[in-house]
Amino acid sequence: MESIDIGVSVPGRYWHRLADGRVQCDLCPRECKLHEGQRGLCFVRARKSDQIVLTTYGRSSGFCLDPIEKKPLNHFLPGTSVLSFGTAGCNLTCKFCQNWDISKARADDRLQQHASPEAIARAAVESGAHSVAFTYNDPVIFLEYAVDVAAACREVGVKTVAVTAGYIGEEARPEFFGAMDATNIDLKGFTEDFYRKLCTGSLDAVLDTLYYVKHETKTWLEITTLLIPGENDSSQEVSALSEWVMKKLGPDVPLHFTAFHPDWKMRDKPPTPPSTLTRAREIARRTGLRYVYTGNVHDESGQSTYCGVCGERLIGRDWYDITDWSLDAQGRCAACGELCPGLFESLPGRWGARRASLSIEAA
């Protein structure tokens, strides 16, 4: 635990006092136990004036309009733009982090933009974004800010999306996911060894979150697994992961296998070959999962959505562009009438593959 000066902060939720005088943060399974002035592993939560505070409320590393497919979400308002932002810090320590400049950042280095929840919701409406995503770093660690932004968005009819590793405590799950309309949860591997060695986390805690979101909330759920050569890409591990999803969550939860590129503290591994993603997709489909995708590579068939019953191509995709649409206004297959799970409008959005930065007035 690091002891440093604390800047702007708001009272944090989910913590309790210990008999030895420390306070324990219960927001995530790491359960940091803090003396006065110390910060937790995520760096953005700290003990100040004898309570846990969030030190990054209202501060962001920047705002962007992205395609919703980039989160990735393929069954949630396809073709629309999503106003995306992150803060700083993370509660996992993944050696292969693909966003390390943000997740490993100290708040004061990166958080140059300030915006109230209402200002973000207003900017989403004005820019035509259908949703706001908490992304780039894990929103669990800035729960108080994310939940307030989500409430402001709901007031003006904008949806909310959490892109997260799902490493959150049991007590905090209802508030966090209750505020979100959709989530993409990283399932980083399928062994405790992988989580312990490469992320200093625990697989079981993430599986509990996945089960909770699917069975206890109305939040739309998709899952992403980044396949790293030699670490989590064996057919056996992909098969075990897919079988767990099929058995515990059912065939309709979309699963994305995405390509790793060498980064942060894992630069000795090669990028994931496209053939690995295709193999993983085939394995997952053989277990019965209906909506399995490849990501971070050019693969039109692996990124398109097919009817789970008749096989009709429902949504064609070329990277983030929608090239084909065979859903009726109720989200049913135009060929056989089977409902495609997710949230769809009568027509796809036309945002395409663009990425645009956005500046937001603070108040």
Q: DSSP alpha helices (H): ranges in the chain? A: 100-103, 107-110, 117-127, 143-155, 173-178, 192-194, 203-216, 235-244, 274-286, 300-303
Pick the closer one to ligand SF4 by CB: 31 or 361: 31
- Whether the CB-CB separation of 182 and 161 falls below 8 Å is answered with yes
72 upstream amide cis, omega within 30 of 0: yes
C-alpha torsion sign, points 72, 77, 78, 79: negative
Helix (H) or strand (E) holding 223: strand 220-227
CA 320, chain centre distance (Å): 18
Stretch of residues binding ligand SF4 (CB under 6 A), selected from 29-37, 176-184, 236-244, 267-275: 29-37
Among 32, 102, 115, 149, binds ligand SF4 (CB under 6 A): 32
Q: Say how many C-beta atoms besides its own lie within 10 A of residue 313's C-beta.
A: 18
Write down the least CB distance from residue 167 to ligand SF4, Å.
8
Write down the least CB distance from residue 224 to ligand SF4, Å.
21
Among 9, 23, 38, 42, binds ligand SF4 (CB under 6 A): 42
d(CA 171, CA 176): 10
Interaction between residue 9 and ligand SF4 (CB under 6 A) = no
Angle at 331 between CA 326 and CA 335, to 5 degrees: 40
Pick the closer one to ligand SF4 by CB: 31 or 170: 31
d(CA 78, CA 316): 11
d(CA 89, CA 101): 9
Interaction between residue 31 and ligand SF4 (CB under 6 A) = yes
Write down the least CB distance from residue 172 to ligand SF4, Å.
9
Q: If binding means CB under 6 A, how many residues of this protein chain bind ligand SF4? A: 12
Among 23, 38, 45, 83, binds ligand SF4 (CB under 6 A): 45
Stretch of residues binding ligand SF4 (CB under 6 A), selected from 26-34, 189-197, 253-261, 266-274: 26-34
Interaction between residue 77 and ligand SF4 (CB under 6 A) = no
Angle separating helix axes 235-244 and 274-286, nearest 10 degrees: 40
Stretch of residues binding ligand SF4 (CB under 6 A), selected from 34-42, 65-73, 114-122, 341-349: 34-42
Residue nearest to ligand SF4 (CB): 40
Stretch of residues binding ligand SF4 (CB under 6 A), selected from 37-45, 185-193, 225-233, 344-352: 37-45
Interaction between residue 25 and ligand SF4 (CB under 6 A) = yes
Stretch of residues binding ligand SF4 (CB under 6 A), selected from 28-36, 106-114, 155-163, 333-341: 28-36
* Residue 75 DSSP class: S
Contact residues: ligand SF4, CB under 6 A: 25, 27-28, 30-32, 40-42, 45, 91, 141
